[in-house]
Amino acid sequence: MKISVITPTWQRHDLLINRCIPSVRDQTVEVEHVVSSDGPDPHLAEQLAEWCPWVVYVDQPEHSDDPCNYGARARNRGLEAATGDLIAYVDDDNALRPQHVEVLAAALVANPLADFAYSQMFRHGLGDVIGSDPPVHGTVDSSILMHRKEGPARFGLWPVPSPYEVDWIFVSTWLSAGAAYVFVPELTVDYYYRS
């Protein structure tokens, strides 16, 4: 079973290359890492080709200046490029713990009727944990999600234009459409709060 991890990004090269990408590379199972830029970024494309040749780079033909974008366009572009049977996400300023992909994939394999799985994340700078059962507003982040490849075609893509709470809108839309889930009560993601 192939697993893809999608990272939406725009002009945060240092965090992406020094925090996010190493956390995906160091997963306990092999993954395809798709970095999706919200606009052309030739410098990033060159950096990734030189330093991280295992990363698949894609981009939007032009950058969106819409302040309500929040990575949704780039996530959807990443979905077009991803070839995995299971799809996970991590934002360019966050980090996956080494077991993240393995435990969520195992949960979906063990629960074949579940359309998505999610875990918990520790929010550095806030000192709290999010991720609870059932999923409710304020406790969902894209970086704790994994879904089956066919999920977006059945339940919907990331909403564009997307309001601030795009993560919850994505999950609540899926739930309203009848998607089933499995919760993994384990800390698998580190989120770094920026004021």
Class of the CATH-defined domain 3-192: alpha beta
In this predicted structure, what is the pLDDT of residue 66? 66
Asked whether residue 188 carries a pLDDT value surpassing 90, the answer given is yes
In this predicted structure, what is the pLDDT of residue 62? 80
State how far the Cα of 23 lies from the Cα of 95, in Å rounded to an integer: 5
Task: Report the candidate in 32, 55, 60, 23 with the shortest Cα–Cα distance to residue 149.
Answer: 32
Which percentage of the chain shows pLDDT scores above 90?
84
pLDDT tens digit sequence for 72-107: 999 999 999 999 999 999 999 999 999 999 999 999
pTM check: above 0.85: yes
Report the mean per-residue pLDDT for the chain.
93
Asked whether residue 68 carries a pLDDT value surpassing 60, the answer given is no
pLDDT tens digit sequence for 9-32: 998 899 999 999 999 999 999 999
Q: Domain coordinates of the chain in residue numbers?
A: 3-192
